[in-house]
Structure formats: C-alpha cells, structure tokens
Chains A and B, each alone.
Chain A
Amino acid sequence: MTPPVRIAQISCGPEYSGVQHEIDAAVKEVNGEIFYPDIALKDIMRDFKAYGLDVRSPDLKLAISRARALVEGRVEADAVFIATCFRCAEAAIVRNELRRYIHENSKLPVVSYSFTERTTSGTLLTRMEALTTIARRRALLARETQQGLTLGLDSGSATTKAIVMKDNEIIGTGWQPTIEVIKSAQDVISHALEEAGIKREEIQAVGTTGYGRFLVGKQIGADLIQEELTVNSKGAVFLAQRQHGPATVIDIGGMDNKAISVMDGIPGTFTMGGICAGASGRFLELTAKRLGVEITELGPLAMKGLGNRVPMNSYCIVFGTQSLVNALATGSTREDVAAAACHSVAEQVFEQQLQEVDIKEPVLMVGGTSLIEGLVYAMGELLQTQIMVPPYSQYIGAVGSALLASGFIKDD
C-alpha cells in the first residue's frame, strides 16, 4: 500500500466546532494523514513577528508560524489544509494571506476552507481527494496528450457527459440531463460510441469524474475514478491549448462552482462550493424557465439587454427569484432580466469564490454554463479581462477523464 499523503493542518477552531473528526474522516478516506507542524514557542514568537500580520488570536499566531515552518522547509509535508471558522473576519484575513503565501513561496498544494458546525466529511471529500491527487499523482497529471482509444465520463449533478477520444482528437460525444445516474451514463456512452463509430470493447481505458464518479466508475469498470477539480483543470488547459504556464479555470456548475488557479495544468489553489444555488447554473435554469425560453436561448437574450436596469441579488435563490418576478411585474424587459440574472450569478461567484484564488490570465470558463454567453460576458466585465471558452467546454470533465485515462492503457 502506498504511504499516506501527509497533509499539514493549519487551523483555528475546528476542534471547538466539533468538526475535526469530519476533517480526519475525509482525509483518511483518500489515504491521507493529517498532522500538525511541530514548532516550539520561540519559533511562534519569532515567526509571527517576522510575518508581520498582527492578529490577536493566539491560535492564528500559531497558524502563521506553522505556515512559515512549512514554507522554509523546517517541517516537511506533501500538502496543506488551511481551515478557520466561517464568519470570522480575523481568521479570514489570515486564511487568505497564508494560502497566498504558501502558494507563492512553495510547491505545496493548498486548499483553504471555512467551516461551520454543520461541515461534514462528505463536503470535504472532493477537496481532500484533489489535494492528495496533486501530491501523489504528479506524474499522471503531467500528461499532455491523449493516446490510444479512451472514454471519459462526467456524471455531474445536472448533466451527464461522455467523450470518446482517439490519438489526441475527440471523435464522439454524448450529453443528457442526469436522471438515473447509471442509466444516464449508459445512454451518453452509447451515443458517444455510436458517433465515433466504435464498439465498447475497443475502448482501451476509461475514466470517470463528477458526483456520480464512484457509482458509475464501479459499474462500467473505470480505470481512473477522479474528482472534478484536477480533471477539469486538465481538460480546460488541454482544450484551450494552454498546457504551460498559469491559467484560471472557472466552472459554474449545476450544484456548486469551482475556481481553480492552475500552473502547468496542475491546480495550485482552488475553491469549491458556493453558499446557495442562487450562485450556480440552477438559478439561470430557473430564470430561463420563468422567461419562457430554453436555457440555450438565455445567453443570446441576455446579450440584448442591460443588466444594471434591474436590481437583482441572487445571494439566496429565493430572494433572487423574488427580484426576477418583481422585475417582470414592474415592466422590465425579458432581455434586461436575463442580463441581470447572468450578472448576478457572475457577481456571486466573483464575491464568494474568486477572492480565494489568484486570478491569472488566461481565464478559462468551462462547463455547461460557459455556453451561456451572457454569463461569460458578465464575468469578463467583472474581471476586466477577455474570457476564453475553449471548444467542447461543456464536456470538460469528460475530456479531462479521457485524456488522463490514456495513462492507464496497458501495453499488450
């Protein structure tokens, strides 16, 4: 058995919030091991002063000193997990600064998280899986070309996607809303195989990702079952032909959002989540329904409107819907409402998540929502940059899986 990935925990509050055992459980599930960088009191006093952020909480002083010990190599680790209480301003400053400090001054992958007493190991699992993958499977993630004949499947919360690839080219695609997880997977696989003109038994390796990755992966005998953070990063830089250097990947999903700061195709820091579906693709689906258009028509509709004519804040999906209904009732045009909805979702992602990663160009938007041009436009306005939407962007997870799966082709 491979030795566990050693994850240094830098934190304030999890033991007193009753969630430390949830962190431990998530880490154990991905064959990781939490440890606390060992330092002495004199190190704390020296390093805290040297860092220069004069926080009051002693445990945050300890966190700063532990981060310095990791960056300076006095304590060895494979990855870093930074966790502090949600709603603590002092801790949020420390969490952000330390994440940036470790990311810029070491090669350690970092994930930061703010927890409440309701945080469960399930919520943390994908993040921990990504963290251990980056630490353990650098060789796998270094792959830049797809070889042979492989199948990638992305079993997402809203849609299921399949891709067949041959010698670095996409030759088949399949897409449908996720209804029954396994049935939807089988349907999209059949479609992709048919389009490619390939039989299932000809496929040399299979990769799965997304919420249903374990269930489907087991069912179809996948060679690689991998969380969507590393897979999507890989897929995004592959399709955008930006495999080298920095990039930022934004994936506004059906249930949660991912913002990933990538270097050479490997995630450095990332956030995942979102407080409410008001900040996800769900709100746009709801908007399209209320406006009586298909989701595919929402983007072009929004491009014709002006978002700032309609006050809308989808911090909460219920309040967001209220604004939507009110705006229509008071005579706002459908175009303006569509633009306002796109702007509101982009703004939520910008405020809640993009603050926790370093935005470096190119900014790549992927996933189904990247096809809604009004949303891409709104995000570009907020970030003041030209956003790239790579081809096949809605298949990003499936492409990443097919690409990485080719590392599992057995030499016959």
Chain B
Amino acid sequence: MNEYTPILVGTVTKYVVVESFDITPADLAVHAYEISQGVMIKETCFGLIINGKEDEVDRIIAELRKIDPDHIFIKDRGFPPGDSRRCRANLGGARPGYHGMEYEMTVIPYVSHGLKELKNRDENTIPAPENPREDKTLDIYKLKKMIEALES
C-alpha cells in the first residue's frame, strides 16, 4: 500500500450554485474574482467552486449571497476544485453525486419561490406541509359526500 499525503490540509471547499434568469455563473465568477484575495475560485456550468481557509471562503460567500439571495445556494464539497479523483474528464462519466445535484436543480426553482415569498410573509402564517410519515387514509365523511355526489 502506498503512503497518502494530503494536499490543501485545513482548507474548505464550497459549491456556489446559481439558478437564476438574471445571473449567470460567469457573472458570479466576475464578482468573486474581484473579492477573492488569493482564494481559489473555479467557474463551472452551475456556478463556482471556492477553496481556501474557512473564514476567507465564508467572507466571499456572504458577499456573493447578497447578489441574489433567493437564487444562490451553497454546500460543502469534500474535494478541492479540479481534483482528478472526482473529475469527469478522468472518470469518463460524472461522479454519482452529480446526478443527485442534477435532480435537486429541478426542485430549486420552488425553493427559490418559497424564499422570495417569505421575505414579505411571516413563516408562522404558512400552513405546514403534509407530513410524509402520516398515513393518508380517506376521511369517512369525505367518502360519504363523494358517494352522495355520485348518487344525486
């Protein structure tokens, strides 16, 4: 077994994903480069990957979020940008996690809508979503009404 020597120890990497009609990943990259101060930034098809010391990355992210808070989403990444172990060019195909993100991108417009609406509304006035853990059985009175409607 070969020894493994890690690189960029003590840094963090984050995805900055933009899903917006107004801002492109390229626009976001321009803003990020302006305030990067040596932090590693890589532009991708869905946004940016940023690597650096945690406080520096957090500072840049806080600034970027301000540009379009309802359409910019952030999460951690295990690997630094361009790492050959996860790079599509080396693997022939996307890493499996990419497809999970691809799926969430189809849902994100609804989340953006929720974030935007909540700016003007109190979250406590909004009904709770259905609890997926509860059995959805048909209410007996509702059934009665349906039968009556059909019979009349």
A residues lining the B interface (CB < 8 Å): 6, 8, 34-41, 44, 58-59, 62, 66, 75
Tell yes or no: B93 within 8 A of A by CB.
yes
CA distance A50 to B93 in the complex (A): 21
Q: Are A41 and B92 in contact (CB under 8 A)?
A: no
Chain B residues with a Cβ closer than 8 Å to the other chain, count: 10
Ranked nearest first, the 10 interchain pairs of A and B with the lowest CB-CB distance are A35-B92, A38-B93, A36-B93, A41-B102, A41-B99, A36-B91, A36-B92, A37-B93, A41-B103, A62-B96
| Residues on the A chain within 8 Å of B103, using CB | 41
Tell yes or no: B77 within 8 A of A by CB.
no
Interface residue ranges of B52-70 to A (CB < 8 Å): none
CA distance A66 to B93 in the complex (A): 10
Q: Are A37 and B99 in contact (CB under 8 A)?
A: no
Tell yes or no: B94 within 8 A of A by CB.
yes
Tell yes or no: B88 within 8 A of A by CB.
yes
Instruction: Return B129 CB to nearest CB of chain A, in Å.
Output: 23
Contact of A59 among B88, B91, B96 (CB under 8 A): B96
With A40-B102, A41-B102, A41-B103 known to touch, is A35 a contact of B91 (CB < 8 Å)?
yes
With A59-B96, A62-B96 known to touch, is A38 a contact of B102 (CB < 8 Å)?
no
Instruction: Supply 6 A–B pairs (Cβ within 8 Å), ascending by A.
Output: A37-B92, A38-B94, A40-B99, A41-B99, A41-B103, A58-B96
Interface residue ranges of B14-65 to A (CB < 8 Å): none
Instruction: Return B109 CB to nearest CB of chain A, in Å.
Output: 16
Instruction: Return A59 CB to nearest CB of chain B, in Å.
Output: 6
| Residues on the B chain within 8 Å of A58, using CB | 96, 100
CA distance A51 to B82 in the complex (A): 34
Q: Are A38 and B92 in contact (CB under 8 A)?
A: yes
| Residues on the B chain within 8 Å of A38, using CB | 88, 92-94
| Residues on the A chain within 8 Å of B92, using CB | 6, 8, 34-38
Interface string of B87-108 (1 = CB under 8 A from A): 0100111101001101100000
Pick the most buried of B91, B92, B102: most chain A CB atoms within 10 A of its CB.
B92
Interface string of B104-139 (1 = CB under 8 A from A): 000000000000000000000000000000000000
| Residues on the B chain within 8 Å of A34, using CB | 92
CA distance A6 to B88 in the complex (A): 15
| Residues on the B chain within 8 Å of A41, using CB | 99, 102-103
Q: Which residue of B lies closest to A6 (CB)?
A: B92
| Residues on the B chain within 8 Å of A36, using CB | 91-94
CA distance A34 to B93 in the complex (A): 11
Contact of A39 among B91, B93, B100 (CB under 8 A): B93
| Residues on the A chain within 8 Å of B99, using CB | 40-41, 44, 62
Instruction: Return B72 CB to nearest CB of chain A, in Å.
Output: 22
| Residues on the B chain within 8 Å of A75, using CB | 93
| Residues on the A chain within 8 Å of B94, using CB | 36, 38
| Residues on the A chain within 8 Å of B96, using CB | 58-59, 62
CA distance A58 to B94 in the complex (A): 15
Instruction: Return B97 CB to nearest CB of chain A, in Å.
Output: 11
| Residues on the A chain within 8 Å of B88, using CB | 38
Q: Are B102 and A35 in contact (CB under 8 A)?
A: no
Q: Which residue of A lies closest to B1 (CB)?
A: A21
| Residues on the B chain within 8 Å of A8, using CB | 92
Q: Which residue of B lies closest to A36 (CB)?
A: B93
CA distance A41 to B94 in the complex (A): 10
CA distance A62 to B93 in the complex (A): 12
Q: Which residue of B lies closest to A66 (CB)?
A: B93
Instruction: Return B70 CB to nearest CB of chain A, in Å.
Output: 24
Instruction: Return A14 CB to nearest CB of chain B, in Å.
Output: 12
Q: Which residue of A lies closest to B106 (CB)?
A: A41
CA distance A93 to B96 in the complex (A): 21
| Residues on the A chain within 8 Å of B102, using CB | 40-41
CA distance A34 to B90 in the complex (A): 10
| Residues on the B chain within 8 Å of A6, using CB | 92
CA distance A75 to B102 in the complex (A): 20
| Residues on the A chain within 8 Å of B93, using CB | 35-39, 66, 75
Q: Which residue of A lies closest to B2 (CB)?
A: A21
CA distance A35 to B91 in the complex (A): 5
| Residues on the A chain within 8 Å of B100, using CB | 58
Q: Which residue of A lies closest to B103 (CB)?
A: A41
CA distance A58 to B100 in the complex (A): 9
Instruction: Return A226 CB to nearest CB of chain B, in Å.
Output: 28
CA distance A202 to B99 in the complex (A): 61
Instruction: Return A222 CB to nearest CB of chain B, in Å.
Output: 30
Instruction: Return A126 CB to nearest CB of chain B, in Å.
Output: 21
Instruction: Return B105 CB to nearest CB of chain A, in Å.
Output: 9
Q: Which residue of B lies closest to A65 (CB)?
A: B99
Instruction: Return A23 CB to nearest CB of chain B, in Å.
Output: 13
CA distance A8 to B93 in the complex (A): 10
CA distance A40 to B100 in the complex (A): 11
